[in-house]
Structure 1
Amino acid sequence: MGYWALSDRVILVKFKGKAFDISAIQAYAPTTDADSVEMDSFFYEKVEAAMSQSKSQDIILGIGDLNTKVGECKEDDIVGPHGLGTRNEILVDWCKENDMVKTDTWFMNHKRRKYTWVSPNSNTRNQIDYSMINKRFRNAVKQSNSYPGTEINSDHNLVLAKVQIRLQEIEEEWRAFEETLYTSVEETIPKIKAKKKQKWMTDFILDMMEERRKVKGKDISKYKELDNTIKAKCKEERERMKYGKNGTSNSQWKC
């Protein structure tokens, strides 16, 4: 769909999806010892400006080198218990304010599948690269971890998140909602019996029409059976009205 570079540190890329569009925000944060004004500009202006260009129903992915650690402690439904290091609250607070979930921290992976950066002397390992997703789609993330040893010519490790949207679950939720809605309507709104629109219409035919309505979309064979019976009865009553009981044409009635 397109991309927008909001600064030399933040870019938004939008992809067209079958059910939901995807907004991917790639970010490279200043280091934690950077000027606080620069940090504020990054978190509260550039990234949020990128999010504001996404629709509320989009899948929003936040990915990149965020140069901060979230630690090993669980924080509500935002940060899981499987992070690394000592927490810096700036990223956690930002996720809370924007309903974003830190996906990597919710999976119990081996420690070498958690750290994303290695120092030049290989003595220090940190988790500072993350993947995030908007809270609405948190259950769509099936796995998120780093891949050390991948040939990418960088001191950072590749981070991969597996996201799977199951439309069947959405359809099932809709059917449950629809059934609840119909049940509530039938229980609270008084039923008005259908009036006879034709003089030849009988109560028996109206009752069968009501039965046909109840099985529509639930029992196809029963629906067809009732539909054929109704058509036959309608034809029979029209003929009876047209010719009368003695078989003589009753000209005052039209077919």
Structure 2
Amino acid sequence: MFGSNDAPTTKPNGSVGVDGSVDREARRNLWKTTLKIGTWNVRTMNHGKLDIVTRELDRNDVNLIGISEMRWTGKGHFTTPGNHVVYYSGKDTRREHGVAFIANPDVARCVLGYNPINERIITIRIQGTPMNISVIQAYAPTSASNEEEIKTFYDDLQMAIDSINKRDIMIITGDFNAKVGGQSTHKNVMGNCGLGEQNERGEMLIDFCQENHLIILNTLFMQHPRRLYTWTSPDHSTRNQIDYILVQKRWRSSFMSAKTYPGADCGSDHQLLMSTMKFKLRRKKQQRKPTRYDVSKISDSYRVEVKNRFQKLLEDDPEESTPEELWQEIKTVITDTAQKTLPKRENMKKPWLSEEVFKLADKRRKVKERGLDKDDNRQDYRNLSRRIQKQVRKDKTNFIKQKCAEVERDSVTNNTKDMYRNIKLLTNKPTHRLNVLKDEAGNILTEEEEIKTRWKQYCENLYASMRRKYT
């Protein structure tokens, strides 16, 4: 409340009317929400597991999840058939380690950029108000790694922190393979709600948090031990807390909870760890994508209507119109007629997993909810995991056979467009976009506007040098 009744209600984006109201455009791009951010070690995202993971994220209403041990090669981002956007970073050739972010459609519209640093660290920046939020997903070396690998990891993580805008809310999520314990003398770094005994890696993590003014969020909230442990041994006799969410101390009050969700299941020995924070997202301005129509299904009605409308344009004496006006009239004829008579082109990248896989995944999740402490439940869980893998392989084989049959059919009917599209789908290695660029000084640019400005400068300098050469 303001002290005076005449004072306007100032909004974070600055779009305030005379009467203190926010304009309609601002309301459409700004809304208050509780943002759910988490981390999950999925133990590989191969063999169709991505669809199972995104299904679990929707079921638990997760907005943004950091993924550890993805085991994909390359770097980039892409949109799934369910409109989730995956930003990932892995090794160039070997399928090991790997980190990623999966953003639901609401958060994906607010992403300013991401930076795939290496196979263990990736960052993402989300537009909000009154400030933006930067999230780092990390996957630390395991206990079998040597000290040099661990030191390199923390050095790279420190560089990632230093590269983040100091005004942003910073969150670090991931699998740190460290135990900070339930009791600690470092009250400014962690609470008393941890789990287990502290080890040497845990001390390194605590020292790292002290240097960067971070606090371990999932040790602050009183929870049942079932909501604290994040990893379970294969025989289910040992449970540890090795996945963490780290936040800056000054933003501690923005977080309402941090706990694991044992009911979420993707066949991993790690639990889904999630935090809930109060945050206001703001959509990024995006260009509207053009509608794509299936031109292979052009009907006679489309041809007749386009022909009649073109005939009317000729009767109106087009020579009196400017080229721009004439082009707009032709464009309107084609697009309006297509909208009325042509179907939209279907997405070629449809999920190839059958419903049987998801039914088996639901059964496996229910077995996990009953508890894996009993031998019978553990055996049922393993049997269902084997059945899921077997069904996934079967679905993959059926998908390839189906596409091969479509290629043969299109070859017979001379439908070369769809034929080559299916051949490309079967033979080409998928290449995803990578929106990262370096400036003249070698600094990494991740946001779209910075990348556009850099390309503009590059082209201007290029053509300026060419003009000097030929003049």
Q: TM-score range by the shorter chain?
A: 0.5 to 0.7
- Aligned-partner Cα distance in 1 for 2:118–2:208: 19
- The CA deviation at 1:91 is 0.5
Alignment of 1:56 onto 2:166: yes
Q: 1:101 maps to what in 2?
A: 215
Q: Is 2:250 the partner of 1:140? A: no
Tell me which structure has the larger Cα radius of gyration: 1
Q: Which of 124, 129, 133 pairs up with 1:18?
A: 129
- 1:32 offset after TM fit, Å? 3.0
**Is the counterpart of residue 27 in structure 1 residue 141 in structure 2?**
no
TM-score in terms of structure 1 length: 0.62
3-state SS in 1 of match to 2:135:
strand
* CA-CA distance at 1:165 after TM superposition: 4.6
Q: 1:65 aligns with which of 172, 175, 184?
A: 175
Corresponding residue SS for 2:179: coil
2:201 matched to 1:90? no
- How far off is 1:153 after superposition? 2.5
Partner of 1:219: none
Residue identity matched to 1:115: Y
Asked whether 1:39 is paired with 2:150, we answer yes
CA distance in 2, matches of 1:105, 1:148: 17
How far apart, in 1, do the equivalents of 2:167 and 2:160 lie? 15
State the partner residue of 1:243: none
- Give % identity: 38
SS of 1:121 mapped into structure 2: coil
**Structure 1 stretches lacking a partner, 5+ long:** 167-255
Q: Distance in 2 between matches of 1:140 and 1:152?
A: 29
Equivalent residues of 2:128, 2:279 under 8 A apart = no
In 2, Cα distance between the equivalents of 1:22 and 1:149? 28
Give CA deviations for 1:164-207 in whole Å, capped at 9, x if unaligned: 159xxxxxxxxxxxxxxxxxxxxxxxxxxxxxxxxxxxxxxxxx
Q: CA deviation at 1:152?
A: 2.4
Q: Distance in 2 between matches of 1:10 and 1:40?
A: 14
Aligned equivalent of 2:283: none
> 1:54-109: CA deviations, max 9, x gaps?
12221101001110010111422211001012213011000000111100000010
- Partner amino acid for 1:38? E
Matching residue of 2:238:
124
Distance 1:80 1:33 in 2: 28
| Corresponding residue of 2:116 | 5
Cα distance in 1 between the residues matched to 2:218 and 2:266 = 20
Distance 1:86 1:33, change over 3 A: farther
Partner AA of 1:140 in structure 2: S
1:3-40 CA distance string (max 9 Å, x none): 11111101111111121111100000012342111101
Aligned residues: 165
Pairs within 5 Å for 1:162-241: 162-165=276-279
Counterpart-to-counterpart distance in 2, 1:26 and 1:153: 21
Q: Which amino acid aligns with 1:137?
A: W
Computed over aligned residues only, the root mean square deviation of the Cα atoms, in angstroms, reads 1.3
1:40 match: secondary structure: helix
Letter of the aligned partner of 1:53 in structure 2? S
Whole-angstrom CA distance in 2 between matches of 1:23 and 1:152: 27
CA offsets per residue over residues 213-236 of structure 1, 9 Å max, x none?
xxxxxxxxxxxxxxxxxxxxxxxx
2:268 to 133, 136, 154: 154
How many angstroms apart in 1 are the aligned matches of 2:279 and 2:116? 27
One-letter amino acid of the counterpart of residue 85, structure 1:
G
> 4+ runs of 1 displaced by more than 2 Å?
none
CA distance in 1, matches of 2:245, 2:192: 15
